[in-house]
């Protein structure tokens, strides 16, 4: 562990603390933060299949 | 006539967080230097080596004289590093920290570091959860023409204001020590050298809703136990390092005695009143720091006097809000 974290706010407004991994170099941390969120957004609901029109 | 072989003049420190406890990191003079505080006089001498087993084999049975000792083992060293706390002077980010003598030393004192851009970019230090991986340092000291290397260093932290001057932070460290070697002080790159540490003037101190105390002195003790040594008979050298115990943060404030209608510490001590206590040093963004005990109770209240001035010294002891929270202390650099 790096014992270094960043605060991130999820879509529902809750703030969570996530760790910076050891294998993420310092100069890539900003990109890592931008790519990491506290909670994944809910998976998009697959559209209902269009019934074949006879 | 030749001069003295060794002088007690310049000193230096390097410190880096270890990936694995006790496995020494490769140190760099350009990125790992600390900026120590030595005051006006000469630096303190480097501390002596200590051994878990001193080599004593007792007395001889025929003459009761001491027997020749064997080699000592379980070598370790402990010492104290003083620093003047200051910010980076430029915006914090995920990769821009307060200087090493703040950031790395606080982490090795049992604190996690969290970066947030809200409300403004800041690094906040809170207690590392017990039972998880704690930060240790590989520490190198240059003093008196020698180089002293330690691994697995754990720290305890205290600070005290020096009148209206810069508060001095003291880190008491201990770690497993290697044998010393001759080394001149190399060129060390210190961080934020143009930034002047904030002084203990115009500080902001809040004792709950009592925000108008006239503050005379501030002292802090983390009270972290770093003494549990791991004797390892299977290891060459016999010493596997140290294990940290818990911390019991205490903030001591000496203030001018207020009217009891304004603030009655004896009453609050008797009723175990909880207050959020904090002090902030510095007012310039990126060169200020705030220490908070979000929940604290008075442990002692000691009346004092400065001539004809009535004073009182309060010692607040922090507690966590729940049995599993790690919110009994926070240090914010913003």
Q: Do B94 and A30 touch (CB under 8 A)?
A: yes
Amino acid B132: pLDDT: 83
Residues in chain B closer than 8 A to A6 (CB atoms):
94, 114-116
Q: Prior bond to B198 cis, omega within 30?
A: no
Q: Write out residues in chain A with pLDDT < 70, as ranges.
A: 37-54
Is pTM beyond 0.90? Reply is: yes
Amino acid A11: pLDDT: 78
Amino acid A15: pLDDT: 85
Contact B116, A8 (CB under 8 A): no
Residue found by looking up tokens 């049992």 in the block: B110
The pLDDT profile of chain B, 334 residues, written as one tens digit per residue, is 899 999 999 999 999 999 999 999 999 999 999 999 999 999 999 999 999 999 999 999 999 999 999 999 999 999 999 999 999 999 999 999 999 999 999 999 999 999 999 889 999 999 999 988 999 999 999 999 999 999 999 999 999 999 999 999 999 999 999 999 999 999 999 999 999 999 999 999 999 999 999 999 999 999 999 988 999 999 999 999 999 999 999 999 999 999 999 999 999 999 999 999 999 999 999 999 999 999 999 999 999 999 999 999 999 999 999 999 999 999 999 9
Rounded to whole angstroms, how far apart are CA atoms B159 and B220? 5
Burial letters for B19-37: b for 16+ Cβ neighbours within 10 Å, e otherwise? eebbebbebeeeebbbbbb
Residues in chain A closer than 8 A to B134 (CB atoms):
3
Nearest CA in chain A to B103: A4
Amino acid B51: pLDDT: 96
Q: Which residues contact B116 (CB under 8 A, 6 or more apart)?
A: A6, A7, B122, B124
Nearest by CB to A26, which of B95, B114, B128? B95
Nearest CA in chain A to B116: A7
Provide the β-strand partners of residue B126.
B112
Rounded to whole angstroms, how far apart are CA atoms B284 and B291? 16
* Spatial CA neighbour of B13 closest among B154, B194, B188: B188
Residues in chain A closer than 8 A to B118 (CB atoms):
7, 9
Residue to mutate among A1, A3, A29, A30, with most B CBs inside 10 A, is A3
Phi, psi dihedrals of residue B106, rounded to the nearest 5° = -65, -40
| Residues constituting chain A | 54
Q: Which residues contact B45 (CB under 8 A, 6 or more apart)?
A: B8, B143, B144
Amino acid A49: pLDDT: 55
Nearest CA in chain B to A17: B114
Using DSSP's 3-state secondary structure scheme, residue B270 falls into: helix
Residues on chain A bordering chain B, Cβ-to-Cβ distance under 8 angstroms: 1-7, 9, 17, 20, 22, 26-27, 29-30, 32-33
Q: What is the count of residue pairs from A and B with beta carbons less than 8 Å apart?
A: 44
Taking phi over 0 as left and psi of -120 to 50 as alpha, with beta for the rest, B328 belongs to alpha
């Amino acid at each position: 562990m790096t014992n270094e974290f960043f605060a991130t706010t999820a879509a529902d407004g809750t703030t969570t603390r996530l760790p910076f991994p050891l294998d993420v170099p310092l100069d890539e941390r900003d990109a890592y933060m931008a790519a990491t969120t506290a909670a994944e957004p809910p998976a998009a609901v697959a559209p209902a299949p269009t019934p074949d029109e006879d | 006539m030749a001069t003295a072989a060794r002088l007690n003049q310049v000193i230096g420190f390097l410190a880096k967080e270890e990936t694995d406890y006790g496995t020494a990191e490769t140190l760099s003079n350009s990125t790992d230097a600390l900026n120590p505080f030595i005051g006006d006089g000469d630096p303190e001498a480097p501390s002596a080596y200590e051994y878990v087993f001193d080599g004593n084999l007792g007395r001889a049975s025929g003459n009761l004289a001491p027997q020749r000792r064997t080699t000592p083992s379980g070598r370790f060293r402990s010492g104290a590093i003083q620093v003047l706390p200051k910010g980076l002077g430029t915006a914090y980010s995920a990769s821009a920290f307060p200087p090493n003598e703040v950031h790395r030393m606080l982490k090795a004192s049992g604190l996690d570091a969290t970066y947030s851009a809200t409300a403004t970019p800041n690094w906040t230090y809170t207690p590392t959860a017990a039972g998880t991986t704690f930060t240790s340092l590989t520490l190198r000291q240059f003093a008196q023409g020698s180089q002293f290397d330690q691994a697995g260093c754990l720290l305890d932290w205290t600070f005290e204001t020096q009148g209206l001057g810069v508060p001095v932070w003291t880190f008491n460290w201990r770690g497993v020590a290697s044998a010393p070697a001759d080394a001149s002080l190399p060129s060390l790159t210190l961080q934020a050298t143009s930034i002047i540490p904030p002084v203990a003037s115009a500080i902001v101190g809040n004792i709950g809703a009592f925000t108008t105390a006239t503050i005379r002195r501030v002292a802090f003790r983390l009270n972290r136990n770093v003494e549990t040594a791991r004797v390892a008979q299977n290891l060459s050298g016999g010493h596997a390092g140290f294990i940290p115990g818990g911390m019991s943060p205490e903030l001591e404030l000496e203030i001018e005695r207020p009217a009891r209608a304004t603030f009655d510490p004896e009453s609050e001590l008797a009723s175990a009143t909880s207050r959020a206590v904090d002090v902030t040093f510095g007012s310039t963004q990126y060169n200020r720091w705030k220490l908070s005990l979000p929940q604290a109770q008075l442990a002692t209240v000691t009346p004092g006097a400065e001539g004809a001035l009535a004073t009182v010294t309060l010692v607040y002891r922090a507690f966590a809000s729940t049995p599993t929270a790690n919110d009994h202390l926070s240090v914010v650099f913003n």
